Amino acid sequence: MTEASTPLMRQYSAIKKEHPAALLFFRLGDFYEMFFEDAVVAAKELEITLTSRNKEKGIAIPMCGVPYHAAEGYIAKLVRRGYRVAICEQVEDPRLAKTLVRREVRRVVTPGTAADSWLGSEENNFLAAVVSPCRVCSPRSFNRRIPGDRVLWGGRGEKNSR
């Protein structure tokens, strides 16, 4: 990620640092915007237009966005493809804000926490938990690939290749 040059981009960067493994849906008015690498990934996966901001300053920041009223469908598509999505909302009325509108991540959606309506009925959807009193064992030692299915570990937004 390049250096954030505006207060808005600094706010975005600070929130993204709190959720580095998620695609950040950043609410700007009537849209959820994504920037930098999140925009590149989301544009490709969602088949939406990738554009950029700050071209006039010689620093093109990749960006894409979706209307807030249609966001659930886009989020569901990303979750079905194995990504984690952090949903960042405006937490104060923009008309009353004296400076930059405060924003916070209000929800993080992962393949393991997705609502039933987001999960595809045409494929298997598994959720498992392993608890071990063994202090030597790490949870990673229980990560296994099931033939024909994807195993997602840690909700990093990456498809596990093991």
| 93-119 confidence digits (pLDDT tens) | 988 988 999 999 999 998 877 565 555
Beta strands in the chain (DSSP E): 23-28, 31-35, 51-53, 61-67, 85-90, 103-109
Distance of CA 85 to the CA centre of its chain: 3
pLDDT band, very low/low/confident/very high, at 54 (cuts 50, 70, 90): confident
Q: Find residue 53's DSSP bridge partners.
A: 61
Give me the pLDDT at residue 3, please. 58
Sign of the dihedral defined by the CA atoms of residues 49, 53, 55, 59, in that order = negative
Whether 45 shows a pLDDT value over 80: the answer reads yes
pLDDT band, very low/low/confident/very high, at 148 (cuts 50, 70, 90): very low
pLDDT in tens, 5-34: 789 999 999 999 999 999 999 999 999 999
Residue with the bigger pLDDT between 160 and 3: it is: 3
Whether 82 shows a pLDDT value over 80: the answer reads yes
Closest to 12 in 3D by CA, of 48, 44, 45, 54: 54
pLDDT in tens, 111-144: 877 565 555 556 666 666 667 666 665 555 444 4
